[in-house]
Amino acid sequence: MQRLDTVAGLREALRERRRRGERIAFVPTMGALHDGHLSLVDAARQAGDVVVMSVFVNPLQFGPGEDLSRYPRDLEGDAAKAAARGVDVLFIPSADVMYPGTRAVEVRPIALAERWEGGARPGHFAGVLTVVAKLFNLVQPDAAVFGQKDIQQATLVRALVRDLDFPVQLIVAPTVRDADGLALSSRNVYLAPDERARALALSRALHGMARDFAGGTDEAAALLATARDTLAGAGVTPEYLALAHPDTLDPVAVATRGTIAMVAARVGTTRLIDNVILGA
Ligand code: AMP
């Protein structure tokens, strides 16, 4: 595995691969790698000849008071895991490499970001889209893999690719969960054991909605009421709990196959998100 931390080094390494006609598949991450991230590497391997992973904790996508300074970082562990899973090129730029000097331009969503994560985290998706656009220009991938875990992010990146004509095939890979259902997240390391137990209510509430939907309930109010009870039973108050249309992310009154059930909640001080697609 090549490990690179400069723009020139990355461009040079990939120019040679591209000249040989190799297809580049890209997995952007913020590191503290877990099996969810590594499953994206497997999907990238299917989609390309060269798998490029970036590890960059992007300051632009953290709001004031969020966890930027304490976000888990483990570069050596990440490099070992990436190499073992078959990453060919690991790009680990510093903030100065990604954002040298003054910035005058950013990529800001004009739709799809008012609600849910976008509503709870003002400016978050401008930070995400700006760094993804930069990474796409640096890596120039043929394909890029994102996780369903961050479904609003995947929706916005799809819009970025479409609206700004990035020649990138977007792949969205399923959420990897622990055996008990908790969606893997770098932020799970913040959870104390009792908090981790309460955090299970998120996936239980979502899977409960999927089960009720499969059983014939399609009224959003009814599905959401049961899910809210599940969360309340664990002492979890959601920031949002919603059934949304997969393309517009608008709330739906009646769920159909493909409707997204999603939740965000703070458990202790840790903010968690999760979603499932109904009828999937
Ligand atoms: P992050 O490092 O949190 O920015 O995540 C990097 C990529 O990994 C994003 O595309 C996430 O959606 C994806 N990801 C995070 N957690 C999971 C998971 N549990 N299963 C699948 N993909 C994930």
The reported pLDDT for the residue numbered 203 is 98
Say how many Å lie between the CA of residue 58 and the centre of ligand 1: 14
Residues of the chain predicted below pLDDT 70: none
Extended beta strands in 77-124, E state: 89-91
CA distances from 181 to 35, 125, 206 (A): 14, 27, 10
The reported pLDDT for the residue numbered 228 is 98
Q: Using one digit for the tens of pLDDT, what is the confidence trace for 154-184? A: 999 999 999 999 999 999 999 999 999 999 9
Q: Using one digit for the tens of pLDDT, what is the confidence trace for 222-273? A: 999 999 999 999 999 999 999 999 999 999 999 999 999 999 999 999 999 9
The reported pLDDT for the residue numbered 192 is 97
Count other Cβ atoms within 10 Å, centred on residue 230: 20
d(CA 37, CA 5): 20
| Continuous segment of H or E residues that includes residue 202 | helix 193-214
Say how many Å lie between the CA of residue 133 and the centre of ligand 1: 18
The reported pLDDT for the residue numbered 229 is 98
pTM of the model: 0.98
Q: Which of 37, 124, 207, 245 is catalytic?
A: 37
At residue 18, what are phi and psi to the nearest 5 degrees? -65, -40
The reported pLDDT for the residue numbered 175 is 98
The reported pLDDT for the residue numbered 202 is 98
At residue 51, what are phi and psi to the nearest 5 degrees? -105, 120
The reported pLDDT for the residue numbered 136 is 98
At residue 55, what are phi and psi to the nearest 5 degrees? -125, 110
d(CA 4, CA 245): 40
Instruction: Give yes or no: 37 in active site.
Output: yes
Atom of ligand 1 nearest to the CA of 37: 8
The reported pLDDT for the residue numbered 54 is 99
